[in-house]
Amino acid sequence: MPEKVKVLFDTDIGSDIDDAVALAYLLSQPRCDLVGVTTATGEPIKRAEMASAVCRNAGQPDVPVHAGCPQALLIEMRQKAAPQADALGDWDRRRDFPANTAVAFMRQVIRDHPGEITLLAVGPMTNVGLLFATDPEIPALLKQVVLMCGRFFTSMGGEWNAIGDPHATAIVYGNGCQSRPPRHVSYGLDVTTRCMMDADECRQRFTADALKPVRDFAEVWFKRSGRICFHDPLAAACIFQPDLCEYREGRVTVALNRPTMGWTVFDPNADDKPHAVAAGVDAERFFEHYFDVVK
């Protein structure tokens, strides 16, 4: 079997359901060594409880879970609540999370394993931006940065994670003095929106043990949407099966002035090309892969 990959998962689980669907994948993937989960945006402690419930139900109660920063760096937080936490019910979980320990934990685990950690960030970038800004050596100590973030090809406009904390997003893409990770790859709306599944099909296919609490969380999501877009699971799956997507190399810059604050702009013709961006996806192969792993 190929060598295991150490993954540190930063997530805003509790808003869109795809975060929990991605966490179930990581817990089910035999090649994944999940070294920790950190939560971002409003009500991060409730989000940490949700992550704990998924981990414990999947038989991995020892995965470290840490609550992160509830505020954006310089703007008002757009995402103030974790509505899916209402479905926690009696699911077994840790409930005694201290506040705002995520960044310190991230720093420690990356420094303890230099060159080994894949940082998978699938929410607004507050935790990661704080980490990179306060310890500029950290990016170069990673194996790679993998993001569900941005919109690069199909149309102009903002993507939720990128605009949720635009100044943090700019830091994560290198608009600062921090070092560079060996690899920096983004999965934006251009590819993730091609991976959709209707609610009824999700209910039928979410049969794995790792997805049991996720099914409850999903019913909260289905009150506002009749489908799931597998944004975050695609980014997670491509850590282990990168050929599910096609990529282009270039430079991503992040707008910091209104009205385009947080928009991501990709330049494939830049002299310096520090970023890879997914430009195409085989959605059928992705779903086949996802349910081969989560079963």
Per-residue pLDDT reduced to its tens digit, 116-145: 999 999 999 999 999 999 999 999 999 999
Measured CA to CA, the distance from residue 177 to residue 110 in angstroms comes to: 19
Taking alpha carbons only, the member of 136, 129, 117 closest to residue 40 is: 129
Q: What is the pLDDT of residues 30-50, one digit of tens each?
A: 999 999 999 999 999 999 999
**Cβ-Cβ contacts under 8 Å for 142 (sequence gap 6 or more):** 110, 115, 117, 118, 119, 181, 182
Indicate if the pLDDT at residue 1 is higher than 70: no
Measured CA to CA, the distance from residue 295 to residue 251 in angstroms comes to: 38
**Percentage of residues in the chain having pLDDT higher than 90:** 96
Give the mean pLDDT of the chain.
96
The count of other CB atoms within 10 Å of the CB of residue 291 is 15
Mean local confidence (pLDDT), 218-232: 97
Indicate if the pLDDT at residue 3 is higher than 90: no
Measured CA to CA, the distance from residue 152 to residue 156 in angstroms comes to: 8
What's the whole-model pTM score? 0.97
Mean local confidence (pLDDT), 251-258: 94
* Alpha-carbon torsion angle 108, 39, 199, 30, nearest 10: 10
The count of other CB atoms within 10 Å of the CB of residue 269 is 7
Taking alpha carbons only, the member of 171, 220, 173, 273 closest to residue 19 is: 220
pLDDT computed for residue 156 by the predictor: 74
Q: What are the structural domain ranges in the chain?
A: 5-293
pLDDT computed for residue 116 by the predictor: 98
Measured CA to CA, the distance from residue 231 to residue 234 in angstroms comes to: 6
Q: What is the pLDDT of residues 150-179, one digit of tens each?
A: 999 977 789 999 999 999 999 999 977 779
Indicate if the pLDDT at residue 274 is higher than 90: yes
Angle between helices 283-293 and 231-240 (to 10 degrees): 80
Report the topology of domain 5-293. Inosine-uridine Nucleoside N-ribohydrolase; Chain A (3.90.245)
Indicate if the pLDDT at residue 70 is higher than 80: yes
Indicate if the pLDDT at residue 246 is higher than 80: yes
